[in-house]
Amino acid sequence: KGTHDTAIGNFGIPQYGGSMAGTVTYPKENRKGCRKFDEFGVSFKAKPGTLPMFVLVDRGVYS
């Protein structure tokens, strides 16, 4: 709980003045998101009736 400065990579038309609600998670592995998370046995799929999940990944160069 609290606030964090962010940059949104939503690949669409930004909704200025809007808000988002959901669960924020930061993965223990694959923190730069270079590989598919299912390769690590991780799923960020929200369960029916719950808020969406937002995954935080580190910016940077990957190979």
Residue pLDDT, tens place only, 13-44: 666 776 778 888 888 888 888 888 888 888 87
pLDDT value of residue 47: 83
Give the integer Cα–Cα distance in Å for 42 and 29: 9
pLDDT value of residue 62: 63
pLDDT value of residue 1: 65
Task: Name the E strands within 1-63.
Answer: 23-25, 53-55
Tokens of 49: 């009736």
Residue bearing tokens 């730069």: 32
